[in-house]
Amino acid sequence: MSFAGKFHNKPYLEQFQRMKRWYNILNKIRVSNANENQTDKQVDIIYAFFINCFHLKDWLIHSKAIEQKKVNDFIENNKEMMICRDLCNGCKHLSLTNPSVAKDVKCNCGFHGVFLHREFDPFQEVLK
Give the Cα separation of 44 and 33 in Å (integer): 16
Work out the percent of the chain whose per-residue pLDDT is above 70.
Answer: 63
Give the Cα separation of 125 and 128 in Å (integer): 10
> Could you tell me the pLDDT band of residue 113, with boundaries at 50, 70 and 90?
very low
pLDDT digits 0-9 by tens, 56-74: 999 999 999 999 999 999 9
Statement: residue 114 has pLDDT above 50? no
Residue 24's pLDDT is what? 94
Global pTM value: 0.70
Give the Cα separation of 90 and 67 in Å (integer): 25
Please spell the DSSP secondary structure of 15-68, one letter per residue. Answer: HHHHHHHHHHHHHHHHT----GGGHHHHHHHHHHHHHHHHTHHHHHHHTTSS-H
Work out the percent of the chain whose per-residue pLDDT is above 90.
Answer: 34
pLDDT digits 0-9 by tens, 73-103: 999 899 888 888 888 887 777 766 666 655 4
Q: Which residue has the higher pLDDT, 78 or 33?
A: 78
Statement: residue 46 has pLDDT above 50? yes
